[in-house]
Amino acid sequence: MAKFFQPNIERKGRIIRAVIGLVFFVAALIVGQSAWWAGLVLGAGAAFTWFEAARGWCAARACGIKTKY
**What averages of pLDDT result for each successive group of 10 residues across the chain (69 residues)?**
83 94 98 97 97 92 78
Q: What is the pLDDT of residue 4?
A: 79
Asked whether residue 38 is assigned to any structural domain, the reply reads yes
Asked whether residue 3 is assigned to any structural domain, the reply reads no
16: domain range?
11-62
Q: What is the pLDDT of residue 65?
A: 85
Asked whether residue 49 is assigned to any structural domain, the reply reads yes
Q: What is the pLDDT of residue 29?
A: 97
pTM score, whole prediction? 0.85
For residues 49 and 3, give the distance between their C-alpha atoms in angstroms, rounded to a whole number: 19
Q: What is the pLDDT of residue 67?
A: 73
Query: How many domains is the chain partitioned into structurally?
Result: 1
